Amino acid sequence: MSEHLFAVLIHDRPDPFDALRRTLNDLSVETYSVSTCKEAEELITHCKPQIVFAENSVADGSWRTILKMAEAEDVPLSVIVVGAVPDTRHYVSVMEHGAFDYVAPPFEHEPLDHVIKSAALDALRRRNALARTASV
């Protein structure tokens, strides 16, 4: 994928996001972190990232708040929920609610690279479809 990748990380604690950020940087994904849903909404509206990584909960909301925010955006993006540990039930729940994926440590390069490329491609396809619809 040749498009520059930009991701917003929404979290209010360093673990596991410090490890995630390092891996994303290794994979040439530009990241910006915010600690509230309000900050995320402002940044997302202004910067139009392809991907958002959301902690389970922050001071003013949760991953569900982020999903609703993403659905309301005029430019499609992919939301990936980040857990502290692998959790199959939580994975199923976030997917049923519309998240692109659920990830948890360890953040290994090859699997995470596949997830981010798939998420970015999904966002790009939805953006292109929206642009085609708007031009008709």
Q: Which domains does the chain have, with CATH numbers?
A: 5-135 (3.40.50.2300)
Closest by CA to 21, choosing from 3, 8, 2, is: 8
Peptide bond into 86 cis (omega under 30): no
Which residues of the chain have a pLDDT value below 50?
Answer: 1
The whole-number pLDDT of residue 132 equals: 86
**Residue 94 neighbours by CB under 8 Å, 6+ apart:** 63, 81, 102
The whole-number pLDDT of residue 131 equals: 86
Q: What is the pTM of this model?
A: 0.93
The whole-number pLDDT of residue 133 equals: 85
The whole-number pLDDT of residue 31 equals: 96
